[in-house]
Amino acid sequence: MALIVQKYGGTSVGSVERIQAVAQRVYKAVQAGNSLVVVVSAMGKTTDGLVKLANEISRNPCRREMDMLLSTGEQVTIALLSMALQELGQPAISMTGAQVGIVTEAEHTRARILNIETERLMRHIQAGKVVVVAGFQGISSNGELEITTLGRGGSDTSAVALAAALQANFCEIYTDVPGIFTTDPRLVAQAQLMNEITCDEMLELASLGAKVLHPRAVEIARNYGVPLVVKSSWTDDPGTWVTTPQPQERSLINLEIARPVDAVEFDTNQAKVALLRVPDKPGVAARLFGEIAHQNVDVDLIIQSIHEGNSNDIAFTVATPILKRAEAVAEAIAPALRSTSNPHTDEAEVMVEQDIAKVSIAGAGMIGRPGVAAKMFATLAAAGVNLLMISTSEVKVSCVIEAADCDRAVAALCNAFEIVSSPTSTPSPAPVSAHPPVRGVALDLNQVRLAIRQVPDHPGMAAKLFGTLAQHNISVDMIIQSQRCRVIDGVPKRDIAFTVPRLDGETAQKLLTEVAAECGWGDVVLDSAIAKVSIVGAGMVGHPGVAAKMFEALAQHQINIQMIATSEIKISCVVAQEQGVEALQVIHAAFGLAGNQKFVVPA
């Protein structure tokens, strides 16, 4: 007999008929000899409707009252599903997050789960009942017993956290598509269903815009080794398994906030090549990385910064032994990348830096916790370490620094994040040979770009910037510093660009404009008309040419790349918002992910 946590999303419980169908499915699983805890979302688009009501009353409703309002949606579904089960003769009881004892931080509208009391749940289960739990909500532990919610899409997180706390045999997420696809099947009909995907890949996809799973649900599954499967609530198809490695032993106390960082890693075997002043037009990155791939040079990090005037900087890192080859390619191509508008003054220039190192913090607990990256930057600043490049992914933040600073940086980071095991030199992730290098493509239309001009090039700037935003719980993604340093009044200065969630864009701009005035930075510019398109795959490592293929697909469709940022298992490009869907489609096709079977949206 297995203990199973099942979760049904909004569409799956969108009507009386759907709730009855779900009750039948639950009943069947119980008849097969299993014990069930069922987590449900609000019916259909109820939560959106409640948000709309709030916005009709206030432009900026108080977050506590939003939680009070939004948590009602799930309460309707739990009662109705329990009734439907009872109608089938199946004993069942509904419980809100507070009644279960899903204890969270007091952070309204984005609370993290601290712990889950299992005693009451187990008592009902042992009495033969199905327990129907309201997803997305909890209760704060600060004595006030405030109702909290976990953030939009958070019912997945409730379900996986319950599975971890109850040590369930597995967690099934039932939704309105048959599993996890190579990209959103509603945007690309030829997207293909996957049988399985690693949790690291799914973490990236989820946080880069694939809303089929809440990223924090994947994080919990990864940390606690919860077997997790995504399936359709309309069919009996097997769905997609999210595979997790053997987890380290972990306490269930402070479930979502304990130990954000598992490891500090470093790599002293890196060199950086930068091309300055390349023209800002489609095809440039494709040409450069096409040639690099042709020469079989494997690049690690790639960044392309915002443009000044009509030119960009592109920088990448390679392993030191192949630096000469990479440099030769860059030198050979530079003259051809001369800006056509001003061929004489704007010639691309190659800059090489050899004595560099990459230090990283890794761990799945950083998702949606901007304070973690901020702490890394503050730690490095306090140790007097200047940052040359920054790369972020959901499970890792890496900084390229001077090689001479590496030991100091690693020691400071181990100390700050209480890493006792000795730091590891970066393990090359084992290429997943059975799979193609790119597993999935995601589109995020919910980000905006901010650029800060003329930030002095000395330690502490990234710490200040991130620290300010982290204090307001604003997550930053794709941070890119321009490669060019401009000396203004004797001070070397760089531009820094990054993306933040659309909802936080204006607040972030306001906060940073205040900081800019204090710190002598230049203008803080906001661009909301952007889209971020990303490819994800653990098999990219050791596969030269993946980046080139992505850039080439965009170039062929005259889609200009405004920013590039990579981590070991993803490459993201910022493009114009109106080209976002097309960018997703052409990249998906370029990697051969499209199949013949067309996804049909269920009625």
**CA distance linking residue 226 with residue 76, whole number of Å:** 28
The interface partner of residue 472, options being ligand ASP, ligand ADP, Mg ion, none and the CB cut-off 5 to 8 Å by kind, is none
Residue 467, token pair as written in the block: 């620290």
Site residues for ligand ADP, 207-236, by CB under 6 A, read 210-212
Residue 397 dihedral angles phi and psi, to the nearest 5° = -120, 125
The interface partner of residue 176, options being ligand ASP, Mg ion, ligand ADP, none and the CB cut-off 5 to 8 Å by kind, is ligand ADP
Per-residue HEC secondary structure of 284-322 comes to HHHHHHHHHHHCCCCEEEEEECCCECCEEEEEEEEEHHH
Site residues for ligand ADP, 425-444, by CB under 6 A, read 440
Pairing assessment for the beta strands 130-134 and 92-95 based on DSSP bridges: parallel
Q: Does the footprint of ligand ADP cover residue 47 (CB under 6 A)?
A: no
Binding mask 535-574 for ligand ADP (x = CB under 6 A): ----------------------------------------
**CA distance linking residue 7 with residue 41, whole number of Å:** 8
Q: Does the footprint of ligand ADP cover residue 190 (CB under 6 A)?
A: no
Q: Does the footprint of ligand ADP cover residue 136 (CB under 6 A)?
A: no
Please identify, using beta-carbon distances, which residue of 14 and 101 lies nearer to ligand ADP: 14
Please identify, using beta-carbon distances, which residue of 161 and 314 lies nearer to Mg ion: 161
Q: Which residues contact 140 (CB under 8 A, 6 or more apart)?
A: 103, 104, 105, 106, 111, 146, 147, 148
Please identify, using beta-carbon distances, which residue of 11 and 509 lies nearer to ligand ADP: 11
Within a 13 Å sphere around the CA of 155, how many CA atoms are in the beta-carbon half? 33
Q: Does the footprint of ligand ADP cover residue 177 (CB under 6 A)?
A: yes
Binding mask 79-118 for ligand ASP (x = CB under 6 A): ----------------------------------------
Please identify, using beta-carbon distances, which residue of 212 and 326 lies nearer to ligand ASP: 212
Q: Does the footprint of ligand ASP cover residue 152 (CB under 6 A)?
A: yes
Please identify, using beta-carbon distances, which residue of 173 and 478 lies nearer to ligand ASP: 173
The interface partner of residue 47, options being Mg ion, ligand ADP, ligand ASP, none and the CB cut-off 5 to 8 Å by kind, is ligand ASP
Q: Is 163 helix (H, G, I), strand (E, B) or coil?
A: helix
**Residue in the structure block whose two tokens are 């170039």:** 555
- Check if the beta carbon of residue 429 is closer than 8 Å to that of residue 408: no
Q: Name which of 431, 7, 534, 540 is nearest 221 in CA terms.
A: 7
Q: Does the footprint of ligand ASP cover residue 363 (CB under 6 A)?
A: no
Q: Does the footprint of ligand ASP cover residue 78 (CB under 6 A)?
A: no
Task: Write the Ramachandran bin of 253: left for phi over 0, alpha for psi from -120 to 50, otherwise beta.
Answer: beta
Task: Write the Ramachandran bin of 342: left for phi over 0, alpha for psi from -120 to 50, otherwise beta.
Answer: beta
The interface partner of residue 135, options being ligand ADP, Mg ion, ligand ASP, none and the CB cut-off 5 to 8 Å by kind, is ligand ASP
Query: E strands of 245-388, at which residues?
Result: 263-279, 299-304, 311-319, 349-362
Q: Does the footprint of ligand ADP cover residue 183 (CB under 6 A)?
A: yes
Q: Does the footprint of ligand ASP cover residue 155 (CB under 6 A)?
A: yes
Minimum CB distance to ligand ADP, residue 26 (Å) = 16
Site residues for ligand ASP, 24-53, by CB under 6 A, read 41-42, 47
Minimum CB distance to ligand ASP, residue 525 (Å) = 31
Residue 294 dihedral angles phi and psi, to the nearest 5° = -60, -35
Nearest residue to the partner ligand ADP, using Cβ? 9
Q: Does the footprint of ligand ADP cover residue 181 (CB under 6 A)?
A: yes
Q: Does the footprint of ligand ADP cover residue 11 (CB under 6 A)?
A: yes
Q: Does the footprint of ligand ADP cover residue 184 (CB under 6 A)?
A: yes
Please identify, using beta-carbon distances, which residue of 158 and 190 lies nearer to ligand ASP: 158
Q: Does the footprint of ligand ASP cover residue 135 (CB under 6 A)?
A: yes
**CA distance linking residue 575 with residue 564, whole number of Å:** 9
The interface partner of residue 184, options being ligand ASP, ligand ADP, Mg ion, none and the CB cut-off 5 to 8 Å by kind, is ligand ADP
Q: Which residues of 274-289 are buried (b: 16+ CB within 10 A; e: fewer)?
A: bbbbbbbbbbbbbbbb
Please identify, using beta-carbon distances, which residue of 214 and 439 lies nearer to Mg ion: 214
DSSP 234: S
Residue 151, token pair as written in the block: 């953030």
Q: Which of 6, 10, 461, 537 binds ligand ASP (CB under 6 A)?
A: 10
- Check if the beta carbon of residue 335 is closer than 8 Å to that of residue 359: no
Q: Which among 90-98, 149-157, 377-385, 486-494 is the span making contact with ligand ASP, rule CB under 6 A?
A: 149-157
User: If you compute the radius of gyration of the chain from its CA atoms, what whole number of angstroms results?
Assistant: 25
Applying CB under 5 A, the residues found at the interface with Mg ion are 9, 153
Q: Is 257 helix (H, G, I), strand (E, B) or coil?
A: coil
Q: Does the footprint of ligand ADP cover residue 186 (CB under 6 A)?
A: yes
Q: Name which of 501, 463, 496, 273 is nearest 373 in CA terms.
A: 463
Please identify, using beta-carbon distances, which residue of 9 and 215 lies nearer to Mg ion: 9
Q: Does the footprint of ligand ADP cover residue 153 (CB under 6 A)?
A: yes
The interface partner of residue 40, options being ligand ASP, Mg ion, ligand ADP, none and the CB cut-off 5 to 8 Å by kind, is none
Q: Does the footprint of ligand ADP cover residue 97 (CB under 6 A)?
A: no
CA–centroid distance for 498 within its chain: 14
The interface partner of residue 11, options being ligand ADP, Mg ion, ligand ASP, none and the CB cut-off 5 to 8 Å by kind, is ligand ADP
Q: Does the footprint of ligand ADP cover residue 43 (CB under 6 A)?
A: no
**Residue in the structure block whose two tokens are 């909004």:** 10
List Cα–Cα distances, 289 to 306, 329, 526, 535, 586, in angstroms.
18, 9, 29, 16, 18
Q: Could you tell me the sign of the dihedral formed by the alpha carbons of 107, 416, 204, 197, in that order?
A: negative
Q: Does the footprint of ligand ASP cover residue 154 (CB under 6 A)?
A: yes
Nearest residue to the partner Mg ion, using Cβ? 153
Size of the site for ligand ASP (CB under 6 A): 12
Residues of this chain that interact with ligand ASP (CB under 6 A) are: 9-10, 41-42, 47, 73, 135-136, 152-155
- Residues lying near ligand ADP in the complex (CB under 6 A) are found at 9-12, 41, 153, 175-177, 180-181, 183-186, 210-212, 440
